[in-house]
């Protein structure tokens, strides 16, 4: 009986559609506990591959027959072998093509909204890592915000919809993933924008992105208005798009707020973070739809798989926006932090242009969940 494969895109559709899936993860327990494929209707069994080398008879009765079964490992090799053994026992199973490496890199483009005068806004959901990036399209031109290093997905969509990428922007110097911004700008001759306060050590040319900049694409009615919003980094900059959407970078998420410590400056930047969230953002329209650069948990996905919420609702429901006591806020964002992202210093140096790791090294640097939020 041939063993089936399931792609990351197919698994993503199951996540979005809340379909059931039974996952047999054959990585070691620590890797599984640290980072796994998450879905609202998913069930799991974690048995390390080395425990199955002598056969799968001991777990056959734990594998359901009434829902799809997916075997998962780091790169796919071990999962193919386990899937083969289960198939020989008469079970119908699939393995994840490319393993968790492929899961980490999958980007799912989702159209968020039409814009005024015929424009469009797309969100790219990096489902396995929680990263979100954006494409604003108008009149045959496109701007990218916080692009990931898997650049083909953006270039392919632009070609598909007949748009030229003319502007590439990063809301800040990223520490949890490698930016594709510079690579895309070089490939398309687009202008690459970066907040200058985050770019003091970069080794390449960029256009300084400062408070009040307006980046216009296509029809002049669609503009990307830069709003200086420090706190996650000293240069963090948000964008108000089409007077409707707030691209908040890593400052504000749906269920949490940004952490200020990834450049070692938590005590210095906590005041900036509070001022951005409690003053700068408070002065904006509550009707703005917040589009963050990350999501933390699968529950933050909307029914179509996108991630968004009105600013007014976040001010009512997000705990990080409702801490009146400044000392309590300071304690929350300096003491209540998750582990720092994998290889975050190397990622920062890559995004500065100081080092240039090969593709396999970049994959290793990014493996694991994002950790850009205060818990």
Of the listed 73, 158, 314, 373, which one is catalytic? 73
C-alpha 154/C-alpha 160 separation (Å) is 10
Dihedral, CA atoms, 131, 262, 226, 140, nearest 10 degrees? -30
Of 286, 288, 336, 294, the C-alpha closest to 316 is 286
Does 73 qualify as catalytic in the annotation? yes
Question: Two tokens at 273?
Answer: 């973070």
If you compute the radius of gyration of the chain from its CA atoms, what whole number of angstroms results? Answer: 21
The whole-angstrom separation of Cα 277 and Cα 283 is: 10
Q: Tell me phi and psi for residue 72, to 5 degrees.
A: -130, 140
CA distance 339 to 372: 10
Can you say whether residue 189 is alpha, beta or left, with left for phi > 0 and alpha for psi between -120 and 50 degrees? Answer: left
Write out the catalytic residue numbers: 73
């Amino acid at each position: 009986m041939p063993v089936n494969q399931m792609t990351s895109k197919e698994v993503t559709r199951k996540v979005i559609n809340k379909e059931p899936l039974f996952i047999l993860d054959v990585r070691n327990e620590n890797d599984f506990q640290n980072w796994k494929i998450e879905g609202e209707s998913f069930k799991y069994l974690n048995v390390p591959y080395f425990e199955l080398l002598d056969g799968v008879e001991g777990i056959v009765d734990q594998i359901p027959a009434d829902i799809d079964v997916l075997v998962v490992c780091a790169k796919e090799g071990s999962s193919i072998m386990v899937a083969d053994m289960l198939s020989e026992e008469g079970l119908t199973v699939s393995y994840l093509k490319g393993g968790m490496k492929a899961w980490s890199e999958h980007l799912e483009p989702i159209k968020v909204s039409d814009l005024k005068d015929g424009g469009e806004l797309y969100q790219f959901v990096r489902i396995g890592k929680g990263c979100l990036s954006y494409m604003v399209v108008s009149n045959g031109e496109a701007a990218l915000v916080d692009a990931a290093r898997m650049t083909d997905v953006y270039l392919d969509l632009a070609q598909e919809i007949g748009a030229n990428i003319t502007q590439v922007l990063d809301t800040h110097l990223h520490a949890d993933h490698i930016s594709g911004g510079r690579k895309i700008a070089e490939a398309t001759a687009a202008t690459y924008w970066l907040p200058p306060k985050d770019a003091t050590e970069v080794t390449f040319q960029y256009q300084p992105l400062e408070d009040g900049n307006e980046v216009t694409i296509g029809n002049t009615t669609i503009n990307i208005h830069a709003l200086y919003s420090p706190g996650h980094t000293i240069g963090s900059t948000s964008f108000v798009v089409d007077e409707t959407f707030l691209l908040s970078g890593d400052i504000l998420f749906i269920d949490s707020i940004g952490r200020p410590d990834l450049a070692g400056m938590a005590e210095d930047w906590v005041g900036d973070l509070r001022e951005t969230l409690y003053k700068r953002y408070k002065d904006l329209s509550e009707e703005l739809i917040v589009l963050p650069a990350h999501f933390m948990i699968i529950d933050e996905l909307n029914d179509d798989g996108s991630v968004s919420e009105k600013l007014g609702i976040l001010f009512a429901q997000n705990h990080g926006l409702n801490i009146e006591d400044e000392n309590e806020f300071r304690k929350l964002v300096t003491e209540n932090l998750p582990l720092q992202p994998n290889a975050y210093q190397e990622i920062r140096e890559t995004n500065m242009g100081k080092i240039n790791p090969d593709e396999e090294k970049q994959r290793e640097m990014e493996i694991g969940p994002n950790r850009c939020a205060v818990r």
